[in-house]
A and B are shown apart, each in its own frame.
Chain A
Amino acid sequence: DSGVTQTPKHLITATGQRVTLRCSPRSGDLSVYWYQQSLDQGLQFLIQYYNGEERAKGNILERFSAQQFPDLHSELNLSSLELGDSALYFCASSPGTRVGETQYFGPGTRLLVL
C-alpha cells in the first residue's frame, strides 16, 4: 500500500458526459501528479500540482482539468468524454518538487466510456 488513495476504483459512463476522479496523496506529500495509461498511448504524464498550484503540464487535453485543494487532495475533471478516453488514470504523490523524488502511485481509477 503506497498511502495514495484514489476514488472511485471503477467508473462507467457514456460519451459526452463529465466525470471527476479524486486523489488523496500520502501524508505529508505536497506534490500530486496525474497519469493516463491506455493501450494506444501507454503511460502518459498529464499534469502536476504542488501545494495547490499547477506546476507542470504534460499531454493533457483541453477537455481535462485538475485542481489541488487546501487539504492537498486533488481532482481530475474529464469532460465531453470520448471513447478514446477509456483508460486507467493514476494519481501519484511526492514530498515536494526536488528533482528525482520518488513518486508513489495510487491504485488507479479505471474509466470506461461507452
Chain B
Amino acid sequence: AQTVTQSQPEMSVQEAETVTLSCTYDTSESNYYLFWYKQPPSRQMILVIRQEAYKQQNATENRFSVNFQKAAKSFSLKISDSQLGDTAMYFCAYHSGGGADGLTFGKGTHLIIQP
C-alpha cells in the first residue's frame, strides 16, 4: 500500500516570503499522480496543483509550484510571495496508476502566514 508522509506538522512565515512544504511518498508503481490540496478554516478542500509522475516538468500554478523528484519519491510545494489567504492546512495526496482507488493523503501541514 502507498503511504504519504508530511514531516512538518506546522510552519509559520511572514507575508510575502517564500515557503516550501515537504512531502514524501512510498510506492512501487511507476505511473501515478500527485496532488496538493488546501483546506482553509472553512474546511473546504481545494485543489492547488496536480503532477503526473511520467512528466519530468514540474507543475506550476501562478504562485504555486512543485519540486517533483521521482527517484527520491519527493513532491514538495513552493508558495512564492505568500499571502494571508494562504493560511490553511495543506495536504499532499497520491493517486494510484491503477486508477481503481481513492486518494491517499498525508497528515497535513498547517501553514500560518503572519502579517
Binding site for B on A (CB under 8 A): 2, 33, 35, 42-48, 55-56, 58, 88, 90, 92, 97-100, 102-105, 107-108, 110
Contacts and interface: CB of A to CB of B under 8 A. Distances in A.
28 contacts: A2-B44, A33-B102, A35-B103, A43-B108, A44-B105, A45-B101, A45-B103, A45-B104, A48-B101, A55-B100, A56-B100, A92-B45, A99-B32, A99-B95, A99-B97, A99-B98, A100-B33, A100-B50, A100-B52, A100-B95, A102-B35, A102-B47, A102-B50, A103-B47, A103-B102, A105-B45, A105-B46, A108-B45
Instruction: Find the residue from B43, B45, B96 having the highest chain A CB count within 10 A.
Output: B45
A19 to B, nearest CB: 19
B45 A90 contact: yes
